[in-house]
Amino acid sequence: VQAGDRATFARVLDLLAARYGTRGRAGRLSPLDELVATILSQHTSDINTARAYASLRETFPTWEGVVDAETAAVEDAIRGGGLAAQKAPRIQSALRAVRDESGAFDLAWLAERDTADALAWLVSLPGVGPKTAACVLLFSLDRPVMPVDTHVGRVATRLGALPPRAGPLQALHEVTALVDPPARMLEAHLLLIDHGRDLCKALRPRCGMCPVRDLCDYGTAMKNAASTA
């Protein structure tokens, strides 16, 4: 798949959908809740994220309570999610920035902004990078923006659609631009994650079993190398 080759990428998605099936959205959080949950999800599993988020909401029923609390108390509440010492101040800073912007702990107003503006505002928050911002935009606001996590980035790079050293913002824009129609963004995101977990693993991808090998730069190179060895 060459960068920007939407037609070939659509075939990749069709083949992945045939293997993994298509899943719908698991549920929807408000944009602010999604922002906090996504900060909690950085460098940890979905299970740990859910546990830490539930614990945070139970300990502090309001976002105001999180901002007013000692950072150590927030850390304690989210310890099950890992990296609590980094995430607690990030969450408090992001919540403060949201309150400073709109006077309330609410991001519903983001729906009024166009996607580029909303993305720019989100990544201006402390501790919020392009992937976290894209999660808020895609999962809560249905904006066609690809969160490029470790799986999505690895699969897209091996396919040949993303330069190996693309930065987070470039990766977001390049993978987003590949998805046609944009309404497939959530499906594409979930399929690339499924594929990264199942066959296109970080160590030893299982290219021999992969349904998209003939469309993949890495898989094709490995196949050619094996046949000339």
Q: What part of residues 102-131 is at the interface with ligand SF4 (CB under 6 A)?
A: none
Q: Applying CB under 6 A, which of residues 131, 158, 184, 189 lies at the interface with ligand SF4?
A: 158
Which letter does DSSP use for residue 94 in this model? H
Q: Applying CB under 6 A, which of residues 218, 225, 226, 227 lies at the interface with ligand SF4?
A: 218
For residue 87, give the 3-state DSSP assignment: helix
Residue nearest to ligand SF4 (CB): 219
List of residues 6+ apart from 117 with CB closer than 8 A: none
Decide whether 95 or 207 has the Cβ nearer to ligand SF4.
207
Q: Which stretch binds ligand SF4 (CB under 6 A): 2-10, 70-78, 168-176, 212-220?
A: 212-220
Residue 202: both structure tokens together: 């970080």
Q: Applying CB under 6 A, which of residues 80, 81, 130, 205 lies at the interface with ligand SF4?
A: 205
Using alpha carbons, select from 165, 79, 179, 171 the residue that is nearest to residue 133: 171
The residue type of 40 is: L
| C-beta of residue 107 within 8 angstroms of C-beta of residue 38 | no
Residues written for the chain? 229
Is 223 a known active-site residue?
Answer: no
Q: Applying CB under 6 A, which of residues 11, 130, 155, 166 lies at the interface with ligand SF4?
A: 155
Decide whether 63 or 218 has the Cβ nearer to ligand SF4.
218
Would you name the residues annotated as active-site residues?
A: 131
